Each structure stands twice: as structure tokens, then as C-alpha cells.
Amino acid sequence: MWKLFIRRHRQWWSAVLATSMVLLWQTATAADFIEGTVTSGDGPEAGVWVIAQTTELGTPLIKIVVTDEKGRYVLPDLPDATYRVWVRGYGLKDSTAVNARPGDPALALKAEQARDAHEAALVYPPDYWLSLLKPPAEDQFPGTGPEGNGINPALGSQREWLNNLKSNCHLCHQLGSQVTRTVDHMAPLNFASHEDAWNYRTQTGVRGGSMYANFMRFGQQSATHTFADWTRRIAAGDVPPAPARPQGIERNVVVTMWDWGVPTSYMHDEITTDKNDPTVNAGGPVYAVSSGHGKLTVVDPVANSTHELLIPTREDPRKMSTRFPPPIQPSNFHGNNPLWGAEHPADPHNPMMDRKGRVWMTSKIREQQPAWCQAGSTHPFASYYPLGRSFRQASFYDPKADKFTLIDTCFATHHLQFDNDPDQTVYFNELLGPIVGWVKTRQYDLTGDEQASQGWCPQVVDTNGDGRISKPWTTPGAPFDPSRDTEVGYNLYSVIPSPVDDSVWGASEEYPGFIIRMTIGDHPPQSCVTEVFKVPAPGFDPRGIDIDSNGRVWVALAGSSHLASFDHAKCPVTSGPDTLAGEHCDQGWTMYRTDGPTLTGTDVPADFHYFGWVDQHNVSGLGANTPFTTGSNSDSLLALDPASGKWTRLRVPYPMGFYQRGMDGRIDDPAAGWKGRGLWANYGTHLMWHVEGGPGTLGKVVKFQIRPDPLAR
């Protein structure tokens, strides 16, 4: 009977079987992950990176994960394409890449132990290589000049020497990368010694002028000896200690990268959302400013595509100046090509996003300072504190209208940050001036009046302690008069408004470093009051500054490699003559030193922390108000647990050269768990040809996600 049933329904069974096979095939091909194991002759390899990269999409894409304790891995959320998949890990030789597609059977990858310490060290981060540098010993300071020990007499201590190394040499690129720790690429020039090579290399290319000036600040004789000794010892076989492989939460990190820009791009930093509401621009494009080329660079992480937009100027760009001078010595990579600035001089520096999804930038729109900014103007802020120069102004791009709007500002602009106030105020720091400026964006949107919408205040300390600021005050450098208020002149590197009051904070790198707090008050500029706080030892060189949702300030100390917090509520005195030096509230400071290798003969880590950022909204999943700093010389982002002092390091192992100047975090889907959230940064080095891959390498935007375990899909 069963045979008769099957024979009569054979076509029906065939159709069911065919449909089932199609469904199974569709299910298999719909998979968006690659999984498998990594083993070597020693067994499973835990805490190593599995890297998948493809060039089959609109822009090249890289996905990186870390293996678990059994050597297992899952590469999630892969667009349909063929990927080259391979392994990199400390103690290993890079494996041979194999091709794979999402949905393929489990992929077993074979790793090979490095043959020796030198081969293993080829993939160590640059701070490990820089830790081999031997700065002059403490007893060599103050310097005695060319006729003595060759150290610049202006350097009074070893920490001042290190401050020059960190704040100037690291400003443009990493130190310890393959290009900087060797002179191999200069071999065709046949230098007789490493000393000769260093004296030449510090004058080359688009940054040769500033690089040579900073080299001279060490004292040429001493600097030449110190850096030549470093590269000579490395050439002779010196290698740094091995870094630890990722542990714990670090193994849960998923890194995704997209190429953008061109091989000579200098993209300062990126932005994805509004700092005060990280759901703005959910799933939308990521933006960076291409400083050298005057463009806004864009990646669509959903479409996997990229493009660039030219930032306009009000004046004829052919008649505008550029801050990028031509090379004084030809680059080893680009000859005498100036690369930047001459053709498109907008020179955008820092992007931020407002609550409407518009991208605001500090950019140059004109050359000459208008009369309404200067002495004799009736503008309320110019008549109070006239400004005679402004090297960069402001602009914003509205993606909905596909339109740039240019805003002239009397104050020069550098970095910017949005407040959470009803006026939607955006604050700017002036790198070369002692003021804080702002634009009330709501007022500007309603009126289009750029003059009425902006304001600025000088930095004036209430040194007479009467609770207000009254003109005339004493000027910077004038003899101190305790009966009058005192103007101070700290050039601010960064700025951040407080979410809990009307104060604005900024960081100044003037050694050993200061942070300032400006209270705007009800009727600026007359109501603006400044407080000054000096960075206490052992810290020095504050750069990126941020603030948590409780008003606690966090600042990256780039020189001493600390992430420092400052609690203004702990300051018993905030005005009067004793506050001018900024030493009246050391109890407000807490220092957290980062955990990288230290420079030889010092207790100062070789890492460099360009920027600080606070995860107010728990985008990372590590907890609300988790403070971060960029490991700009260690290919990583660093998250701090203040309660334990422990660091979590989000490392980018490939391509080496992940130098960041900023970061932010966006929530694309609050209901999607880790998949709906991500931290973002980019390769922001001046010199993309220093990145692994060399000349022709493109910049990359980087997304970090922290999943609940290393195998989450």
C-alpha cells in the first residue's frame, strides 16, 4: 500500500524535496558570517586576530575579530563578497590568506609561530618600538647647548624634553612605525651615518619645515645622537618586549573598516552623530574633513560606498593663502610635490554634527578680517574685545539640501563642540588666541544673521575676588595688581561645554599644561569669568578634553600618558589673587596612567594620547560615562574603568598605523543590542604613506563594536 501511495504521489514528493533543497540553499547562502578555528603546531591559538578583506564592494572593506580561548572565531555581518581571510597575532608569523565567502563551511586557519623575536616584533605597535628610545638622562638637564651636552638650554628637565617629543613630533604621525624606526627607505641617498640620515629626514616633505623646527628645540646635537642611537640599535637587532594578546572583553571586539579619500589625504578626524543625542543620523554616512585638500570625505557604511565634496570659500581660492608651505627638502615618497593647500585652501580642521544631522566644520572662508570685528565696531562683542585676525572661520554641510553654508567669525576657529542648551550653541576654541567663541545656531537658523548670532569672551580671572569682571583689567604680561581683575592668555587646544551648567572648559598645552573654566553668565561678554587650573605633577601636556554627564571633566595628558579627571566641586576657592597661578585646587585632580611600555630610563609610556572622549550614553556597552582616550601611538582606543583603574584596549592590528585624532559613538538601533551601536574613529595621520602598505594606501574609517562574547553573530 505504501508503494502505491508513493507511486501515485511521486510528483508531489519531488516538488516537496525540490522546495526543501531550495530553502536549504537559500538559508545557507543568506548567512552573513564566516566562522572557524585557528590552530598552530602548539594547538588552538587564543587572542589572535582573524582578518577578512574584500575589494568587491563600492569601497574596500576589512573586518577583524579575535579568537576565543579555544581558537574559535566568527566574522559577523559580512556583505556578500569573496574575502581574503588570514591570521595575525603576537608571537605568530602572518598566515597565508585563503578565500572564503559568507555561508561557507567552517574555515580552519593554520597559524605558524614566528621564527625568532625579530620576526614576531614586526607586528608590534609603534609605542613598543619607540620604548627602545633612550631620552637624555635626568642629570643632563638643564641643557648646556652646543658647547656643552648639546641639549637646548631652554629645556630645564627631562620631562620638558619628553613634552617636546610628545606634543610636537607625535603631532603629525606615529613614532616607532616601520618608516620612522629605520632609515632603510633612505638607503639610495647613501648617507654615511644614521646621524646624517636624521638631519636630512627631519627637513623633508610637506611637514619638513615644522619638523625641523621641532627637532632644533631638542638641541640639534643631542637630538641627532638620541634618534640615531635608536635606529642604529634597531638595525643591529634590538627588539621591544612582546605585547600581551587581547584578554577578556578585548576578545569581544569587532572592527570594521572602509577605505576613503585618496593616497595623499590628511583627514583630521571623523563624525557620525550629535554628541548630545547619539541616535542622530542613525545608520547614515560618516564624515571626515580632508584638511590638505579642502574637502568633506564621506562613507556610506550601508551601501559600502564613498565620495568627496569640495568645501567652498567666499573669496577666490586662487587668491587665498595656505598654511602648508612647500617642502624645504624633497620627500622620499613625493619629491617636491607640495600635496596640500594650494588648490583648495579651505583647510577644514574638525567636524561635529548638530541635532539636525548637519556637519559643522572649522574651515577657512576668506582672507582679510572684516571691519565689524575690529576696534571701532559697534558689534557688542567687538566693541568690548576687538579681534584683529581670524585664520579659519566656520561652515556646515546640510546633507538633506546637499548644500554648504559659510559663516564668517571674528574669532579664529580650531575645534568645536555643541552644547545641550535651547540656543543649540556651538563653541569654538581659538588655538592662537586667548578667547572662547560661539555661534547660537538656533538664532542663526531663524535670522541668517551671522554677526548677531555669534559672540566671544576673553579669558579674565576674578583676581580681586569681587564676584564680577570689570574693565579695565590688567593685560597679559603686565605687573600683577591684586585690586583689579587679570586677563590671561592661554591658547586653547580644545573646548567642551558642560551639560550641567553654563560653563565651558578648554585645555592649554603651555607647559606643564592648564585647563580653564569659563562661566558665560547671563550677559556676556561682561559676565564671562575664567578660572585657571594647572596640571599637577607628574602630569603634563593636556590635549583632548571632554566631560561626563555629571560635569566631571576628563582630559588626555598626551605628554605624560595619563587620562586625568578634574572635579570642580572639590575646589574650596574659585576667585581671588591666589587663583591666578592655577595651583589652588590640586585636590580636584585624579590621574590614571595608561599601561603601555615606557621610554627607556623613564616612567613615561611611549604612547601618545591625542584626544579624550567620554561615552555619556553607553554606546560602547562598557557603562555610561566611561572615559576613553586615543592610543594614537599604539594603534588602539583605550577605555578606563575609574573604579579599578583598569584599561580595556581596542586594538587595530591591520593595517598598522592607526593614528587617531578623535572618536565618537553612534546608536543606529537602540533595540538591536551590540549590533545597533558602534564607536567610530579614523586613520588621521598627516602621512598616509607611513601606514602599512606604504605609498598608495588609502585612509580608513574604523567602527568598533563590543559583542557579548567572541562568537556572537
Amino acid at position 207, single letter: R
325: number of Cβ within 10 Å: 14
Name beta bridge partners: 329. 204
Dist. CA 448–CA 466, nearest whole Å: 38
The predicted-structure confidence for 45-73, as pLDDT tens digits, reads as follows 999 999 999 999 999 999 999 999 999 99
Name beta bridge partners: 499. none
The predicted-structure confidence for 648-687, as pLDDT tens digits, reads as follows 999 999 999 999 999 999 999 999 999 999 999 999 999 9
What does the pLDDT read at residue 481?
87
What does the pLDDT read at residue 440?
98
Q: Which helix (H) or strand (E) holds 43?
A: strand 43-44
Cβ atoms of 250 and 651 closer than 8 Å: yes
- Distances from the Cα of 572 to the Cα of 107, 520, 555, angstroms: 63, 21, 21
Dist. CA 29–CA 21, nearest whole Å: 12
Sign of CA dihedral 24, 30, 33, 34: positive
What does the pLDDT read at residue 326?
87
Amino acid at position 164, single letter: N
Closest CA to 323 of 413, 410, 391: 391
The predicted-structure confidence for 393-435, as pLDDT tens digits, reads as follows 999 999 999 999 999 999 999 999 999 999 999 999 987 677 8
Sign of CA dihedral 271, 272, 274, 278: negative
Cβ atoms of 533 and 515 closer than 8 Å: yes
End-to-end CA distance of the chain: 48
pLDDT score of 17 more than 50: no
Domain limits of the chain? Answer: 2-45+61-120, 126-235
3-state secondary structure of 228: helix
Helices (H) and strands (E) in the chain, counts: 10, 40
The predicted-structure confidence for 214-243, as pLDDT tens digits, reads as follows 999 999 999 999 999 999 999 999 999 999
> What CATH number does domain 2-45+61-120 carry, 3.20.20.70, 3.40.47.10, 3.30.300.180, 2.60.40.1120?
2.60.40.1120
The predicted-structure confidence for 552-576, as pLDDT tens digits, reads as follows 999 999 999 999 999 999 999 999 9
Name beta bridge partners: 593. 562
643: number of Cβ within 10 Å: 7
What does the pLDDT read at residue 477?
75
Share of the chain above pLDDT 90, in %: 88
Dist. CA 259–CA 683, nearest whole Å: 10
Q: What secondary structure does DSSP assign to 683-713, as a single string?
A: ---S-GGGSTT-TTPPEEEEEEEE-SSTT--
Cell representation of residue 616: 555619556
DSSP conformational letter for 315: S
Per-residue pLDDT averaged across 496-502, rounded?
Answer: 97
